[in-house]
Amino acid sequence: MDDCIELISAHGRARVSRQGAQVMEAEIGGQPLLWLSPLASIEAGKPVRGGVPVCFPWFGKHPDGLPAHGFARNQDWVVQAQQADRVVLSLQDSPEGRALWPHAFRLELAISLDERLQFDLSVENLDTQPFSFSYALHSYFAVTDSRQCTVEGLSGRLRREVGHVTTPHHGTVLLDQPIDAVFETAAGTLQLLDGQREIVVGGEGMRSAVVWNPGMHAEGIADIGPHWTEYVCLERGNIGVAAVMLAPAGRHVASMWLESRLRQPG
């Protein structure tokens, strides 16, 4: 992570990699907010397990067998502006990217750190034809024990999982079992509860949410292994029915913010 950009504010610090515009680590109030796998292999052009990878221009597996989660997380972004507590990075189409997704675009991500970690994303269509895309900010949160965590704010939303029937979810989302649940439409603010701590995950213009932890199945995943209890993924983006269609010269803007605080009694 020698090429990482360090953000510092009165409330914490974060490290951002130019590869993928990925926040690798962040702490607020002296407490880790994000999880980076101790088994992660940090190599040029390869995804890194942890932090907040940017999944674009598609999320998850591709129907034609192209790399999962798109290509933005594996490419070097350009630093457009930098301050002590804020950095703006951009990515445009290239011959390498066009081989996978043949569209002209500009993707920009502003990352700022204060009482919360803020992501402001924009996508511009520089092509002569409209295009559709999906994306997610794939947040890995550091937790005490994933099996004891829960997620609030998704009751009544349609829940989709591979191999399961899509049905409305009722009540709290439990993480005591393996989970890979996509909520294509979700509330603007969600809460990840970890003991006495509450992690707030807010989204504006990001209609979808994903909750993921493979449980003991992660023992066979090289860059997770026995460390699966240390994190929970709670992501925001636009997936499935929330995928974005952009006309030529069109621009999509959206935000995600992350806060960590003590839970209020009662």
List Cβ neighbours of 187 (8 Å cut-off, separation of 6 or more).
Answer: 153, 154, 157
The reported pLDDT for the residue numbered 266 is 57
Judge whether 127 and 32 are in contact, CB under 8 Å. Answer: no
* Residuewise pLDDT in 10s, the chain (266 residues): 457 999 999 999 999 999 999 999 999 999 999 999 999 888 888 889 999 999 999 998 888 888 889 999 999 999 999 999 999 999 999 998 899 999 999 999 999 999 999 999 999 999 999 999 999 999 999 999 999 999 999 999 999 997 788 999 999 999 999 999 999 999 999 999 999 999 999 999 999 999 999 999 888 888 999 999 999 999 999 999 999 999 999 999 999 999 998 877 65
pLDDT of 1 reads 47
Residue 218: φ, ψ to 5°: -70, -15
Structural domain range at position 257: 5-262
**CATH number for the domain harbouring residue 181:** 2.70.98.10
The total of structural domains in the chain comes to: 1
- pLDDT for 175 equals 96
Amino acid at 61: K
CB distance 87 to 77 below 8 Å = no
In this structure, how many other beta carbons lie within 10 angstroms of the beta carbon of residue 193? Answer: 18
List phi, psi (to 5°) of 220: -95, 0
Residue with tokens 């965590």: 149
